[in-house]
Amino acid sequence: MFGYWGKLLRVNLTNQTYKVEEIPEVTLKKFLGGAALGAKVLLEETAPNVEPLSPENKVIFAVGPLQAVSFPGNGKWSVITKGPLTGTYLDSAGTGHWAPYLKKAGYDLLVIEGKAEKPVYLYINDDVVEIKDATQLWGQDTVSTSQMIKEELGDRRINALNIGPAGENLSPVACITCDGHSFAGRGGAGAVMGSKNLKAVAVWGTKQVPVHDKEKASEISKKLFKSAYENGKYFREHGTACAIVPLNELGDVPVKYWRDDVWTEGSAKIGAPRYTEYLKAKPKPCINCPLGCHRHVHFEYDGEKKEANGPEYETLGMMGASLLVEDLDAICMANDLCNKNGVDTVSTGAFIGFLMECYELGWLTKEQIGDLELKWGDGDVLVELTRQIINMEGLGKLFKNGIRGAAAEIGHEAEKIIVEVKGLDYPAHDPRATFGVAVNYATSPRGACHERGNVHAGSLGLYYPELQDAPADRFSVDQAAQAAYLHQSISTFYNTLTFCKFMIGDGGITLSELCEGLEAITGWKLEAKDLFRVGEAAFTLQRLINVRDGLDRKDDSLPEKMKMAALVGPRAGEAPTPHEKILDDYYKLRGWNEKGVPTAEKLKELELEEYVSFIPAK
Amino acid sequence: MFGYWGKLLRVNLTNQTYKVEEIPEVTLKKFLGGAALGAKVLLEETAPNVEPLSPENKVIFAVGPLQAVSFPGNGKWSVITKGPLTGTYLDSAGTGHWAPYLKKAGYDLLVIEGKAEKPVYLYINDDVVEIKDATQLWGQDTVSTSQMIKEELGDRRINALNIGPAGENLSPVACITCDGHSFAGRGGAGAVMGSKNLKAVAVWGTKQVPVHDKEKASEISKKLFKSAYENGKYFREHGTACAIVPLNELGDVPVKYWRDDVWTEGSAKIGAPRYTEYLKAKPKPCINCPLGCHRHVHFEYDGEKKEANGPEYETLGMMGASLLVEDLDAICMANDLCNKNGVDTVSTGAFIGFLMECYELGWLTKEQIGDLELKWGDGDVLVELTRQIINMEGLGKLFKNGIRGAAAEIGHEAEKIIVEVKGLDYPAHDPRATFGVAVNYATSPRGACHERGNVHAGSLGLYYPELQDAPADRFSVDQAAQAAYLHQSISTFYNTLTFCKFMIGDGGITLSELCEGLEAITGWKLEAKDLFRVGEAAFTLQRLINVRDGLDRKDDSLPEKMKMAALVGPRAGEAPTPHEKILDDYYKLRGWNEKGVPTAEKLKELELEEYVSFIPAK
């Protein structure tokens, strides 16, 4: 028996120094880890409105208690920073193999400050921390970078988060990759690494991390591995591509950059089972994963046979359905280009949809498009525009400040057709199919985010029997705020624990079972409602960073297209309006005032009284 | 000086008899001719709910006073009957050379009754009327039929209205053609001729028809020929294709079967001036026409060079823009197939748009579509589907009862996406671009009709300085009913006079000048407001036929798509709603009750008191 504890590794790239700090148990118990601990550090340690790509911004990597042991779904890590795409608080989660290594090296948090003079990478091997030259790595793609580091360090077990050329070039949609098949994709964290001249973070950890009851933890873990494996058979067979057809049937999948409503034949062509058969797709699991949703696929493009990491549901949605592209080979090619260059496939797909719509509306100049015909459904155009966006050349230049910048530059009525919140493009779930999604996207601290509330059509009303009744009517304006409040808080808890949400939904693990696991590891007695409270507190803390920087209700917006109900299809006649009414309901549930600012009372209730001073005066 | 008079030629095909009846001046002065006189006969002589394709239905051809002399725009004739597509009152107007010949043979009206035992055609040569065998003509296309009749009768000047194979096969969208370039296109009058085994009506007339002041008439006519010729230069150069680009800029042209809003690049490809250049288009004028909007074009399809009558604005709208087809050769081919087979291009284009939308929505079965991919923009699919619709085979079989029948057979939510009123497909003017169009289409007696009110975006607020101020705000809900009331009444007056509306708009002739011409011919002193009253009375009489048969407010509908405002483009945010409010306003202006039934008071005001007994009891 011992008190649970954690450590923070702080690296300053400007000074080339590092130090280790203790994290007291009381802090860990309140925040767990991940996106809560990271938000706490970001709030406390960065100035208001810090410029995302300046040395003053920090990039924080975080794990949580589950990474101490072998536990299903603990391959997840979070990166927390001010994001360059939105200028807001940003956290983004990746998986792969890296997360447990950081914990086993002894760290819950890795805080990176400053900026290196020239390209470097960080190498953490238990207590040894080195800032190493990355001149040779600069310009390498994400897969090569990983391999070259393993070779240089002489240990294939070493795992290195890294950025591709897009991050080096400060693309606002650059992501951070792990193992070539996992990505902290959204919001441009890769560019923050790039702005610090930080190419990679290699980690190897071998320590015995303190665990409250090792035997019990092992027993629970084994039980959950087994049950998740059994529950997840279909998911393992087809990966997230299994969701395309059923979610299209619910009207959840974006069609034609959110302008159309149904894509039945197309969805059958890109979704499972065809995806699995045509691409000879096989699972490519993250560490400690009984589900293995990531895919290894075979495809052919431009006469060349290829193997690579396969597109996920969100990528199929944004590069397939949203563009009417049925050509799986082209989608795989565009996906692979994004992955290797380290670019978010969701925003890239959204950008291309936006360009295709602008083209159709005659808003692009001959000078901008050259000879390219930006026709919906053309897989080659998808690949070519992906290249242009990655290389920030041609039409890609328009996106140097994201979709909002592109809309402003294109002019006409382009600002009316973009589908984003706070500058982050909608991912592939339509709020007209589930009203809670609208307020979820509107209020998510990093902008429109599906990782902040598994509230979309397929999940509503499921999973949390231990908590309050989950609202189950997807077309209820009255239930929308409650659905978002519940699912956001729980999802934020996952990101705080850095735990894979699929273990719950597809693996069938319950919150109570998670509590058992957590107790075995930490010794803390927790119930499902405590997990909810941790998520709620973390979410509020993240909100506080944004309101400190001047964001409020006006930034919690609903795109114009989402106010337009479909004529036919599974969500005919439905729209999540009036948005302002739903927002009012939501703010009440969250204990925020009518401007969307957390109240001092609410902070106290969530044991966040030390942050009351961060509430803006007016 | 003499009293103006007219004659009715009544032919009974069952009995193979005919007789000539006098039409008293008082009747002519009240109704003028055309669609007013025809409606009067149809109302008085047919039973309620007469089956359109039964021998009990009558098909009535009518001209008016202007056909007595050489007068600009008098190449027009009307056909009046109960229509097979809608089951309602139907009148449809054609041009060409036939109209003045009928008048010069001595007749204002030709009423055809009964049904011939075998295929026949009618030959009217002044006082000689013959019912002739048409066995050899049956199955011939519209152009061959015309030529064969000229040859058989040994006089190339003889002109024969006729039907193609579609009319013989009772297609509900079969039209009646004249000279191979003019069509009474909408509503299926060709099938009514077909149901009577009547292939053609050949006419040659040489009589001196009584004219009040021949010299004056000739002088006015010359003056108007000259001014219309001068005003109509651009129109003569490009025909109705000149309207595509400017009307697209107003948001008036249907895009993607009324689902999209702008088609800028495409409209430039199919509209003038490209239409004129690419197709080497030349005018092909009707008789007495200083404008010559009809086109003779050169195109190539399937490797074969062709010359034919070219597509009009409405055809370009429904077979081009509405299908996203930019391929002028394919549009010309589909148009020529329709013309030769005697089929309405507007409904055919609408059907194809509907099929493409159903296909995209996954509502067509493999059995229905075979190997055809019904992709938007595919010109070959346009041609193939045109063939199927003409031959009522394959997908064309769905339309044996028009678009409503097809929607019912296809099921799903197909009834929500069709764009029609009373079963007649919308022509190519979008009411969201001009709200008056919505109520105009809703209340037109034959269903959605652009010939019943030149109220669309390009014409609003123009042309009638002698009448009340024409409402000019195209997006005004408050002005919509007034705009429709004004333009409908005037357009109905044109169809009553059988006079080409383009003489007013594009030729610049005024209503006052028309009054001068009419006075010289008939001796009647008329003012612009009298013309309006004639139109209003005729329109009311036509309404009475429909309400007698059970139609009322519920049939004056607005398609669902028209309630959906565009997000962007020239009519962003605009929709002609609430429809019921506009309808209330409109009924008040018309003097109809809240069910849309003309009141006895209104009939009396319009000197239609003898028809009060036709008002339904409840």
Helix axes B345-360, B328-341, angle to 10 degrees: 120
The residue written with tokens 């579509």 in the block is: B369
Q: What is the pLDDT of residue A459?
A: 65
CB atoms within 10 A of CB A391: 17
Residue A411: is it exposed, middle or buried by C-beta count within 10 angstroms (0-12/13-18/19+)?
exposed
CB atoms within 10 A of CB A151: 11
Q: Provide the percentage of residues in chain B whose pLDDT is more than 70.
A: 98
Q: What is the pLDDT of residues A99-108, one digit of tens each?
A: 999 999 999 9
Q: What is the pLDDT of residue A1?
A: 38
pLDDT band per the 50, 70, 90 thresholds, residue B137: very high
The Cα–Cα gap between A28 and A42 comes to: 16
In whole numbers, what is the pLDDT of chain A averaged over residues? Answer: 95
A568/B417 Cβ within 8 A: yes
The one-letter amino acid code at B34 reads G
Q: What is the pLDDT of residue B2?
A: 47
The residue written with tokens 């009707």 in the block is: B286
Q: Which CATH class is domain A7-204?
A: alpha beta
Q: CA dihedral in degrees (B607, B613, B616, B618; nearest 10)?
A: 110
Q: What is the pLDDT of residues B400-412, one digit of tens each?
A: 999 999 999 999 9
Q: Domain boundaries in chain A? A: 7-204, 241-417, 435-614
CB of A151 closer than 8 Å to CB of A229: no
Q: From chain A, pick out residues whose CB is under 8 angstroms from the CB of B360.
A: 260, 262
CB atoms within 10 A of CB A392: 17
Strand partners, A7: A22
- The residues of chain A scoring below 70 in pLDDT are 1-3, 454, 457-463
Helix, coil or strand: residue B7: strand
CB atoms within 10 A of CB B230: 11
Q: What is the pLDDT of residues B29-64, one digit of tens each?
A: 999 999 999 999 999 999 999 999 999 999 999 999
Q: What is the pLDDT of residues A458-473, one digit of tens each?
A: 666 666 778 877 788 9
Q: Provide the percentage of residues in chain B whose pLDDT is more than 90.
A: 92
CATH 1.20.1050.10, domain B241-417, yes or no = no
The Cα–Cα gap between B486 and B469 comes to: 10
Q: What is the pLDDT of residue B83?
A: 98
Q: What is the pLDDT of residue A210?
A: 84
Q: What is the pLDDT of residue B1?
A: 37
Nearest CA in chain A to B413: A568
Residue B394 — φ and ψ, nearest 5°?
55, -135
pLDDT at B495 over 70: yes
Residue A527 contacts by C-beta under 8 Å, 6 or more apart in sequence?
A: A466, A512, A515
Q: What is the pLDDT of residue B617?
A: 85
A416/B361 Cβ within 8 A: no
In angstroms, the separation between the Cα of residue A362 and the nearest Cα of chain B is 6
Q: Which pairing describes strands B109-113 and B6-12: parallel, antiparallel, or unpaired? A: parallel
pLDDT at B220 over 50: yes
Q: What is the pLDDT of residue A546?
A: 98
pTM recorded for the entire structure: 0.92
| DSSP state letter for A445 | T
Nearest by CB to residue B417, choosing from A360, A417, A567, is: A567
Among B326, B567, B574, B577, the residue to mutate for chain A (most A Cβ within 10 A): B567
Q: What is the pLDDT of residue B458?
A: 62
Q: Which fold has domain B435-614?
A: 1.10.599
Q: What is the pLDDT of residue B3?
A: 57
Q: What is the pLDDT of residue B464?
A: 73
Nearest by CB to residue A413, choosing from B264, B265, B568, is: B568
The Cα–Cα gap between A195 and B296 comes to: 66
Q: What is the pLDDT of residues A39-56, one digit of tens each?
A: 999 999 999 999 999 999
- The DSSP-derived string for B324-380 is T---HHHHHHHHHHHHHHTB-HHHHHHHHHHHHHHHHTT-S-HHHHTT----TT-HH
CB of B121 closer than 8 Å to CB of B149: yes
Q: What is the pLDDT of residues B294-350, one digit of tens each?
A: 999 999 999 999 999 999 999 999 999 999 999 999 999 999 999 999 999 999 999
Helix axes A345-360, A402-410, angle to 10 degrees: 10
Nearest by CB to residue A361, choosing from B360, B564, B568, is: B568
Nearest CA in chain A to B561: A567
Q: CA dihedral in degrees (B334, B335, B340, B344; nearest 10)?
A: 110
The Cα–Cα gap between B3 and B211 comes to: 10
Q: What is the pLDDT of residue A461?
A: 61
CB of B143 closer than 8 Å to CB of B296: no
The Cα–Cα gap between B527 and A228 comes to: 87
Among chain A, residues having any CB pair with chain B shorter than 8 Å are: 260, 262, 264-265, 360-362, 412-413, 416-417, 560-561, 564, 567-569, 572
CB of B103 closer than 8 Å to CB of B209: yes
